Amino acid sequence: MSLELMTLGCSRGLSTLLLLAVALVVVSSPWLSSPVDASVSYDHKAIIINGQRRILISGSIHYPRSTPEMWPDLIQKAKDGGLDVIQTYVFWNGHEPSPGQYYFGGNYDLVRFIKLVKQAGLYVHLRIGPYVCAEWNFGGFPVWLKYVPGINFRSDNGPFKAAMAKFTEKIVAMMKSEGLFESQGGPIILSQIENEYGPVEHYGGAAAKNYVTWAAQMAVGLNTGVPWVMCKQDDAPDPVINACNGFYCDYFSPNKPYKPTMWTEAWTGWFTGFGGPVPHRPVQDMAFAVARFIAKGGSFVNYYMYHGGTNFGRTAGGPFITTSYDYDAPIDEYGLLRQPKWGHLTDLHKAIKWCEPALVSGDPTVTNLGKYQEAHVYRSKSGACAAFLSNFNPHSFASVTFNGMKYHIPAWSVSVLPDCKTVVYNTAKVRNLL
């Protein structure tokens, strides 16, 4: 459905939100575990941190697109917004402007940024790439790379693989030396190798497939103790998890039944090009997409972007990308809360967390409630129950019967029932947050 059609109105919304406050799951600080006991793994349902399945809400904040002075406030606002994880790319051309000459100062101080995330009690998803796209100059590659004799980017090519492996190893070694992987008691629970290679892989034939296999094996061989991800990579080799990027990912399934369903880029808006309109994604549509993804079994969702920031200097890349990388994100370019987007998504995250004990227990039971309506119900052995009632008709509200009770669901929306009875949140109903 086009974003232009998303003109759902605001309404009073969460009048019953506090009714289930007593059901809020209190999760202890992730830093209470000793480094010896720290571990990250996964199964078909979720990422498992220190033995517990987790429903993880993440947001992208790119450290070079803001200033170090802004970082603590941005991270705190992300935490206040209900996020568990901060996701960032690593920007090769900012860190190695000339061969073998490294820079990690100023707004490229990656270690400082990650330690601030740790201090806030949040996790990190580190997308090393080192090709990152990100509407960043040269996709993150340093310009000197193209002058390496015999090089062929992102392929089964010796000079390129040597350069890529060297930089990836450099970043991993730096993280290890600072004790920043969760396996060491740090905040990094996930890493990513490559970036959205799948859509162009077919152009490279067998050499491209060999490159994907090599990249995965190289990354896993670095022994970080945390899972690796490849986004938009349907043939991601085991044990690497393939993940979805897009406006909607409720249709997505990983390439193996024992991998969790992950959404590494849930697009909150879009980048701005010179001469073009400023993109806007209504928060009702954003919330609908996330709620549908969680309802259908997703367990990790990352907002791209949660704070877009600014393309300082000559860092903007792609087709006439502006200096502003605001992205219509919940936190705007200048670090201010964008309402009602930030607040409405914060309410969604609270509702999802109330459902977490049931969500991590297994797969949902799906019941058709009408032509465009359905219920996804999760039940745990301990008695927890959570339901998501969806109406994916883009034009008309629906009245449905669920568990013997009547519910009214606005068009293109999801109602969340953390006890399978009481609606505490609907994606189309936005509180007055201005």
Positions of E strands within 345-422 = 365-368, 373-379, 385-391, 398-402, 405-409, 413-417
Q: Both tokens of residue 295?
A: 């309802």
Q: Burial level of 206, CB count in 10 A (0-12/13-18/19+)?
A: exposed
- Long-range contact list for 14-22, CB < 8 A, 24+ apart? 14/347, 14/424, 14/425, 14/429, 14/431, 16/422, 16/423, 16/424, 17/347, 17/350, 17/351, 17/424, 17/425, 19/422, 19/424, 20/354, 20/418, 20/419, 20/422, 20/424
| Chain Cα centroid distance, residue 430 | 23
Can you tell me whether residue 213 is helix, strand or coil?
helix
E strand or H helix that includes residue 65? none
- Residue 364 CA to residue 68 CA, distance in Å, equals 43
Say whether 196 is catalytic: yes
Q: Both tokens of residue 263?
A: 């959404």
Catalytic residue among 265, 333, 356, 374: 265
Radius of gyration of the chain (CA): 21
Q: Cβ distance 100 to 80 under 8 Å?
A: no
Cα–Cα nearest to 52, from 30, 23, 74, 71: 30
Which residues are 56's β-sheet partners?
A: 300
E strand or H helix that includes residue 62? none
Q: Both tokens of residue 155?
A: 């392929």
Catalytic positions, written as ranges: 196, 265
